[in-house]
Chain A
Amino acid sequence: MSKLSALLSGLVFGIGLLVSGMANPAKVLGFLDLAGRWDPSLMLVMGGAIAVGLVSFALVKNWPRALNGQPMQIPGNRQIDRRLIVGSLMFGVGWGIAGFCPGPALVALGLALPKALVFVAAMLAGMLLFQWRPGKS
């Protein structure tokens, strides 16, 4: 059940990215590039997603378990530290250069676009570099 649920969620997520136009890096850059003609669409995508998410997270707030019987795994970390900010800044720089964040990159990879393949390969390499970084805390 967990695998099927995750597959379904991934499918719906990807279709949402396609419907919203966010699977298209050119449209994402239309939002991130404030100096040109600015396309505010991304803000409404976040707004639509969060409007639904607010209800869902409120609904499950006191659930001990999900419907598959497993305990809910919602992050409890509330600390705003250097690692969070530096990592998010690095991510933002990469996002602003290419217009890709992880979800849309995987959708574009599904279409077997050569540039998406290169981006995803570099992204996975970045994740492995993080995993193997020296002196990790």
Chain B
Amino acid sequence: MTIDWLDFTPWSALAGGALIGLAATLMLVLIGRIAGISGILGGALGFPRGDSAWRWAFVAGLLLSPWVFRLAHPLPPVRIDAGYASLIVAGLLVGYGTRLGSGCTSGHGVCGLSRLSPRSLAATLSFMAAGFVAAYVAHHLLGVGS
């Protein structure tokens, strides 16, 4: 392993991360909810039933964010190398897995670790480890995108 100094962007990573923390803070302070995206989306789809308006509003904010960003700054690249078959397999795993595991990078990774939850730490270590292994297998052994 070598560090990719060319693509490493420490300052924008920290600044963007702080904004993500701010978004989680807004949810928490204003409406008392965790900014966990898979949970919000799962809830918006109708389970558990009820109170879905704020969930759709959060999703709408995410969908609109690139257009708001664009008012101030040209959009950064969004490069999706995986092919359609890989995207379908990956999407199914992400959808099912985040619901089964009750969270994703935002709910467990950001909010859970911020409130020092051992449960979220276990989840985060699990999906990180699986992510490293899957990235190696998919991109070096199977040659899916890269």
Contact = CB atoms under 8 A, between A and B. Distances in A.
Interface of A: 1-27, 29-30, 32-42, 44-54, 56-57, 59-60, 63, 65-68, 70-75, 77-80, 83-103, 105-111, 113, 115-116, 118-131
B16 A122 contact: no
Contacts of A101: 37, 94, 104-106
Given A25-B79, A50-B21, A60-B28, A98 B102 contact: no
Contacts of B88: 118-119, 122
Contact of A96 (B113, B114, B138): B138
B62 A89 contact: no
B111 A123 contact: no
B101 A84 contact: yes
Contacts of A87: 96-102, 123
Nearest to A40: B8
Interface residues of B, number: 117
Nearest to B136: A35
A56 B127 CA distance: 25
Given A14-B69, A44-B14, A102 B127 contact: no
B101 A86 contact: yes
A76 to B, nearest CB: 10
B105 A97 contact: no
A25 B118 CA distance: 28
Nearest to A52: B21
Interface in B80-109: 80-82, 84, 86-106, 108-109
Contacts of B69: 14-15, 18-19
B98 A97 contact: no
A93 B93 contact: yes
15 contacts: A5-B27, A6-B58, A9-B24, A14-B63, A15-B68, A35-B136, A53-B24, A67-B30, A90-B130, A93-B90, A94-B92, A98-B91, A101-B104, A121-B91, A130-B95
Given A10-B23, A53-B113, A25 B80 contact: yes
A67 B18 CA distance: 22
Contacts of B45: 124, 127-128, 131
A71 B101 CA distance: 24
Contact of B29 (A67, A86, A90): A67
A96 B2 CA distance: 19
Given A66-B31, A87-B97, A20 B12 contact: yes
Contacts of B14: 44-45, 47-48
